[in-house]
Amino acid sequence: MFARNLWYVAAWADEVTTVPLARTFLNEPVVLFRGTGGSVAALEDRCCHRALPLRHGDVVGDCLRCAYHGLEYDLNGQCVRIPGQDKIPSKARVKAYQVVERDDLIWIWMGEAEKADASKIPAYPWHRDSKWKYRKNTYLIDADHLLIYDNLLDLTHLGYVHKQTIGGDAETHFAATTKTTRTDNGVRVERWMLDCVPPPTYTSSYTFGTDRVDRWQEIEFEPGLVRIFTGAKDVGTGAPEGNRDGGFGFRGLNAMTPETDDTTHYFWSAAHNFRLDEPSVTDEIYRNIVITFGEDKEIIESQYRSMKRTPDRPFIDIGFDIAPVQARRLWAAMIKAESAPAPL
């Protein structure tokens, strides 16, 4: 059961080319392609003739041609050519999904067509901001997407899951001041670890002026993604008061799109705001995230298999579950609203 009336990330913009890209979203097989005119389209990945997935096809102009018997579909899914015959039945078409290219991402609308509103697409301007450099990847996670939100919204696991990498000492994380607030459309967590030792992943690419820093973590959830802004500055140089210039700043995009009931596309990017001209720094930060997310992936997938085995057993909540629990309530409310009968 997924919320459908929201924009999900379908792909990185540079993944969608004139070579068709097949991806399943919310259990529906979709084929993405870019016409030779540059427009992006997302069609149902099933030819209406004999069901061959269109992923095998070729882009011909602004059409996708089925690899089996050559039917051609335009960007709207309408069949515009049937080899060997002039008449094209009006039913010869496949479903088309609305897509928007923005912030280096392709966003897709899997819900009720008339409710799609491109102005509601979550912003992620840092992909286009010259003060930031980023690298990105796409993972397939063998777990329900909600487990990834749980993980991202609860940063106390850093001290356990990531004790060898970005985590550092577990006690530091429990001692952090944590403020959780509801936003218009999501949940926001702000944490401060004042006067602490920076973790190895910070010092490996950034040189602080002192041994101790003020360290922050801001996590913004809205359905479809989590923005993470973390960083640190020399202790006592004004970070908590709002001046974060000149420190170590990291921005992470985490966009989750359900593939099936049991699997999730995880699109992530890692951006930094210092040493912008040194690709090796960008690479080093990226590599740290690869390691970190690899640790999370192993935990989350094992956790999901365990949950699937006993789906009805209750959990014991603990204090740090506030933000994840709020996010889950928000999803549940969306799903409930979508399944409610329309107002009179």
Give residues in contact with a second copy (CB under 8 A): 29, 45-46, 48-53, 56, 65-71, 79, 82-85, 89, 91-92, 150, 154, 156-157, 159-161, 170, 174, 298-299, 302-303, 306-307, 309-310, 313, 315-320
Nearest to 127 by CA among 18, 255, 20: 255
Please identify which residue in 10, 11, 66, 270 interacts with ligand FES, judged by CB under 6 A: 66
- Identity of residue 13: A
Token pair recorded at residue 217: 């973590």
> Which residue, 50 or 131, has its beta carbon nearer to ligand FES?
50
Nearer to a second copy, 210 or 306 (CB): 306
Distance of closest approach, residue 52 Cβ to a second copy, in angstroms: 5
SS3 4: coil
241 binding partner (options ligand FES, a second copy, none; Cβ < 5 to 8 Å by kind): none
SS3 content of the chain, % helix, strand, coil (to 5): 25, 35, 40
- 240's contact among a second copy, ligand FES, none, with CB below 5 to 8 A by partner kind, is none
Count of residues binding ligand FES (CB under 6 A)? 9
Decide if residue 68 touches ligand FES (CB under 6 A): yes
Asked whether position 305 contacts ligand FES by CB under 6 A, the answer is no
Q: Dig out the tokens for 145 from the structure.
A: 């997407």
Contact call for residue 308 and ligand FES (CB under 6 A)? no
CB 54 within 8 A of CB 43: yes
Would you list the DSSP string of 180-215?
EEEETTEEEEEEEEEEEPPPHHHHTT---SSS-EEE
Q: b/e for 214-242, b at 16 or more Cβ within 10 A?
A: bbbbbbbbbbbbbbbbbbbbbbebebeee
Task: Give the residue, chosen from 11, 40, 71, 161, that forms a contact with ligand FES under the rule CB under 6 A.
Answer: 71
Closest CA to 41 of 92, 108, 93: 108
163 lines the binding site for ligand FES (CB under 6 A)? no
Task: Choose, by CB under 6 A, the member of 22, 26, 52, 80 that binds ligand FES.
Answer: 52
β-strand partners of 96: 43
Q: Could you give the CA distance from residue 61 to residue 59 in angstroms, rounded to a whole number?
A: 6
Q: How far is the CB of 245 from a second copy (least distance, A)?
A: 32
Name which position in 49, 95, 163, 287 contacts ligand FES (CB under 6 A).
Answer: 49
The residues of the shown chain that bind ligand FES, judged by CB under 6 A, are 47, 49-50, 52, 66, 68-71
